[in-house]
């Protein structure tokens, strides 16, 4: 990822993490679908931004989160931490 794009990727990941979905009752795949649907309904989000958002969340879930989980496996998991299965993250076409 180009360093110039990092703030945008950070924005989308933070927005994903701050969404108010019922995380106790939704699987990771459902959370991603809900987030994607939420962005698709937002008139201020253009198609390319939706693709960028999903790419940012995919990168976070498939690269950064597993590394963090691996490092944390040497110690206790954080309260409320939910590992996301890699197979459920896909980019919209």
DSSP letters along 3-38, please?
GGGHHHHHHHHHHHHT----TTTS-HHHHHHHHHHH
Task: Give a yes or no: residue 19 inside a domain.
Answer: yes
Task: Give a yes or no: residue 12 inside a domain.
Answer: yes
State how many domains the chain has.
Answer: 1
Q: Tell me: the pLDDT tens digits for 64-91?
A: 776 666 655 655 555 555 555 444 444 4
Which structural domain, as residue segments, surrounds residue 69? 3-73+82-88
Higher pLDDT, 61 or 16: 16
Looking from the CA of 1 toward its CB, the CA atoms found within 13 Å total: 15
Task: Give a yes or no: residue 34 inside a domain.
Answer: yes
Residue 80, SS3 per DSSP:
coil
Task: Give a yes or no: residue 93 inside a domain.
Answer: no
Task: Give a yes or no: residue 64 inside a domain.
Answer: yes
Residue 49 pLDDT greater than 50, yes or no:
yes
User: Residue 19: which of 28, 51, 1, 78 has the closest Cα?
Assistant: 28
Cβ neighbours of 32 (radius 10 Å): 20
Residue 93: what pLDDT?
A: 43
């Amino acid at each position: 990822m180009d360093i110039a794009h990092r703030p945008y990727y950070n924005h989308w990941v933070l927005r994903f993490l701050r969404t108010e979905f019922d995380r106790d009752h939704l699987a990771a795949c459902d959370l991603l679908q809900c987030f994607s649907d939420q962005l698709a309904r937002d008139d201020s989000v253009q198609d390319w931004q939706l693709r960028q958002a999903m790419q940012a969340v995919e990168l976070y879930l498939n690269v950064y989160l597993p590394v963090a989980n691996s490092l944390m496996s040497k110690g206790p998991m954080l309260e409320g931490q939910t590992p996301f299965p890699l197979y459920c993250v896909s980019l919209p076409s």
